[in-house]
Amino acid sequence: MMDNRTTRLDEILMAGGPAFTLRLKSSAGEIYADVPAASAPAASAYLRSAGCRHAAVFAEDRVAEDLHYYIYYVFEHPDDTRYLVLRCGVEPGQASFPSLAAEVPALNWQEREIQDWFGLEALGHPNPRRVALHDNWPDVHPLRKDFPIDTVLPPFEGEQHVYRPTLGEGVFQIPVGPVHAGIIEPGHFSFAVAGEPILYLQLRMFYVHKGIEKRFEHLPVPRAVFLAESVSGDSSFSHGTAFCQAVESIGCVEVPEPARRMRTILLELERIYNHVADIGAIVNDVGFVIANAHASRLREEILRINEELTGSRLLRGVVCPGGVRRSWDRGQAGRVLAALDPFEREFNDLTDMIQASDSTRDRLERTGTLHAEQARDLGIIGVAGRASGQDHDVRRDHPYAAYDAVEIQPPVYQEGDVLRRMQVRIDEVRRSLQFIRLAESGLSSGPHRASMPQLPAGEFAIGSVEGWRGEILYWIRTAANNRIARCKVKDPSVNNWPALVEAVQGNIVPDFPVINKSFSLSYSGTDR
């Protein structure tokens, strides 16, 4: 079984013939192969036919070093724990690459990001409009190396975004945002409705774009961890861990076993506090206010546990390259374990209360349905993916921290409605509690932090974590003096926003909040 999990991609590459023979680099976690840009569509088609999934596509400006931009396609296969990365060189004079978005809708936004950030044209893209830069931005490409981070752009003029008109008798457009009614992040939604049902939803994101990937290039690695923690504030520990794993992979550093267990515990605590909050918010959006009051109280309990263990309610300032900054003693661990039992009882009371409510179930079942085929085509991952039949979980597929010691059986449902997205969360909270107890029970008092060497320049690696929303990917290339030349951040929300567009169609406008909440995507993680 284990052998299979580390050789399958090699077999697929061998069978793929000469197109994949240019092996760039191979490590325990990744295989890199050089492929001409023109061959990317054929290579992608072959790998997909062999059962691979496109996890991400991104670019890098290496014009100063070796006269090329590079496009990186990240694949994974269910029977291999490594990632396969195809690299395609693009000459500056050519400044374009073939688009795969028509074949692989999951890459739609990511290819357009490459257009915006680097000025490389995605040839044949079915919808090549800007996605990351708003329409009123000047013609700039911020991730090019010749674009200074402190560039002061002139005052913006014109429309931020031109929405497609929706025509027809009795069809109205409802604009919502960017400032929303609740305490949530900003984005603009434009609904086309005929009566109550939603015909079509257009999303405009990137309102909270703050130049994070560029900023990474201006921080030394030890300080950059804190930037990773601020990519998506409710996923600080997951993002920080993914960043650190990439750095550790580059530095060939083995994280001590106690630190891996501590990371596991904290990753699961982050999952629990967010899942509990979302469960409460979902039922709140259909009027079950008292259940939300209990859920938000339970979230507070977990935030207090976080503070007890780490000094930070949102688990900040804990993870670091090589392990964790702070250990905890038996007294702290004992208090936390003692708090988990009443938490679990209360959580069961909460879910009993929700499940006993027929009217709640009535509102959630068959609401906001994302069919399994749609989810597969759009590359939907994480909670939303598992509720729509997509069985992905980084903890099992690319084990890290202490997850190789536990059996991960992700809850997978086929119906893809709000109810199942809530149910996935309920199931996962229960398993997270088990993982925490298991990891804590074997926690020894060894070192919690391996020393990090100065990182070699020009090296690169992936770090990935199953955050509570889904797969978080970091790809880092180092520069001289322990700095970063490129840091690609892919939050699962980037994959999953298009799912919302599909899921709301045919639903009534008043159900939009609960559908949106059931996906619970990160705006900041998307916009960076």
Site for other proteins in 228-257 (CB under 8 A): 230-234, 236
Under the criterion CB under 8 A, does residue 317 sit at the interface with other proteins?
A: yes
Under the criterion CB under 8 A, does residue 181 sit at the interface with other proteins?
A: yes
In angstroms, what is the minimal distance from the CB of 463 to other proteins? 19
Angle, to 10 degrees, between the axis of helix 330-355 and the axis of helix 418-441?
A: 160
Under the criterion CB under 8 A, does residue 209 sit at the interface with other proteins?
A: yes
Smaller CB distance to other proteins: residue 234 or 511? 234
Distance of CA 17 to the CA centre of its chain: 33
Count of positions on this chain that bind other proteins (CB under 8 A): 71
Distance (Å, whole) CA 305 – CA 226: 21
SS (H, E, C) 386-454: HHCCCCCCHHHHCCCCCHHHCCCCCCCCCCCCHHHHHHHHHHHHHHHHHHHHHHHHCCCCCCCECCCCC
**Contact pick of 16, 29, 186, 447 for other proteins (by CB under 8 A):** 186
In angstroms, what is the minimal distance from the CB of 133 to other proteins? 9
Span interacting with other proteins, options 106-114, 244-252, 294-302, 455-463, rule CB under 8 A: 294-302
**Contact pick of 179, 457, 480, 508 for other proteins (by CB under 8 A):** 179
What are the CA-CA distances from residue 509 to residues 43, 201, 502 (Å)? Answer: 42, 11, 14
Q: Which residue in the block uniquely carries the two structure tokens 């959630």? A: 364
Restricted to residues 110-139, the positions that interact with other proteins (CB under 8 A) are 134, 137
Span interacting with other proteins, options 292-300, 372-380, 395-403, 416-424, rule CB under 8 A: 292-300
Smaller CB distance to other proteins: residue 152 or 167? 152
Distance (Å, whole) CA 228 – CA 310: 17
Length of the chain: 528
Restricted to residues 351-410, the positions that interact with other proteins (CB under 8 A) are 352-353, 356
Span interacting with other proteins, options 10-18, 309-317, 366-374, 481-489, rule CB under 8 A: 309-317
Under the criterion CB under 8 A, does residue 440 sit at the interface with other proteins?
A: no
Restricted to residues 260-289, the positions that interact with other proteins (CB under 8 A) are 277
In angstroms, what is the minimal distance from the CB of 280 to other proteins? 9
Closest by alpha carbon to 394, among 82, 154, 173, 31?
82
**Which residues share a beta bridge with 155?**
none
Distance (Å, whole) CA 40 – CA 23: 15
Restricted to residues 463-522, the positions that interact with other proteins (CB under 8 A) are 522
Distance (Å, whole) CA 436 – CA 109: 36
In angstroms, what is the minimal distance from the CB of 504 to other proteins? 20
In angstroms, what is the minimal distance from the CB of 150 to other proteins? 6
